[in-house]
Amino acid sequence: MNNNPVQRPPIILCDATLRDGSHACSHQITLEQIRLYATAAEKAGFSFLEVGHGNGLGASSLQVGESLESESDMLRTARQCLRNTRLSVHVIPGFATIQREIANAIDLGVDLFRIGCHCTEADITQRHISHVRSIGREVWGVLMMSHMASPETLLEETRKMQSYGAQGIVLMDSAGAYFPEDVTRKISLLVEKLEIPVGFHAHNNLGLAIANSLAALHSGATIVDGTAKGFGAGAGNAPLELLVAVLKQQNFPTTVDLYSALDATELGARLFAGNLPNSTGITIVSGLAGVFSGFAKPVQRAAKLFGVDARDIFYELGKRKVVGGQEDLILEVAEQLAKLAGKPQK
């Protein structure tokens, strides 16, 4: 009988606390919070620490929310705290330009650029991915709202990113809508057909972030994201403290020290107290409807304005397959629901 433990590939563990967590506090993370948390993340040994506005480079604006601190100051502060943990940023073409935001991030020492788009729009990432690769920095492709596309479509889109020069691929469950069998089916196909590492970024709307992350890893993914205490939009992300513990128990090799990771996430709980995620009727329904839970606050405002149920708004947004950038439809949907219910217009 072979009693040797299963030999697993090294896992790249990405800490998105200081980027995805920005959604949870209306992008008001301070430089002192960045300094303290980045120092703890470095000690814990996370592979990457992602920093910046919740929507990525160049996204600070009245439309999606203004950051408390400048992008340059946030990246510079984090960079000064990191030695072995590498600094990463999220990039959505349209928010970030090559000449301005990406050039500035390069000057500030960013190690990894994760170029993201809606799951069927990989074409828009070509210039950004190709540019970052051409100057010798690491670049990954990220498909957001990936629950909205079939495995075959995701393969087609990720193959495009690979051809542009992406050195890794991450599927984002932006709405927290996946079940483990969905993850297994999609990740397995990408792992089989692509020539670059594959990863998964979970949200916790249905309480499945850890289960889905584990399903991705058992399907061959070697990149996985999490945040301290799940700090992120709506119901939040895969809690890092649980993710690290599960990886250790399942014998997945990482560069992370368990106790230091637990200390870092406890620090995160203190730093971001009052903004940590929790499961509510709104976040659950947003997951069931397949709608980005970052819409929760504007949906609740619209529901109050028109006197309708916020959950009904989420279900209708899901029927329309609304994605980020279509926030204007929230008020339209709320108004239509009010008319159907015979509510007086305000």
Region label for 274, one of left (φ > 0), alpha (ψ between -120 and 50) or beta (otherwise): left
Distances (CA, A) of 263 to 43, 70, 153: 10, 28, 40
Residue 48: strand, helix, or coil: strand
Nearest to 104 by CA among 61, 73, 139: 73
Helix axes 328-340, 310-319, angle to 10 degrees: 110
Catalytic residue, from 23, 27, 53, 147: name it.
Answer: 23
- Name the residue among 17, 90, 12 with its Cα closest to residue 49: 17
DSSP string computed for 17-40: HHHHGGGGGTT---HHHHHHHHHH
Nearest CA to 188 among 223, 217, 162, 226? 217
What is the distance between the alpha carbons of residues 92 and 292, in angstroms, rounded to a whole number? 16
Contact assessment for residue 178 and residue 147, using Cβ atoms and an 8 Å cutoff: yes
Dmax (CA) for the chain in angstroms is: 74
Nearest to 323, CA basis, from 157, 119, 140: 119
Task: Answer yes or no: 23 catalytic.
Answer: yes
Active-site residue set:
23
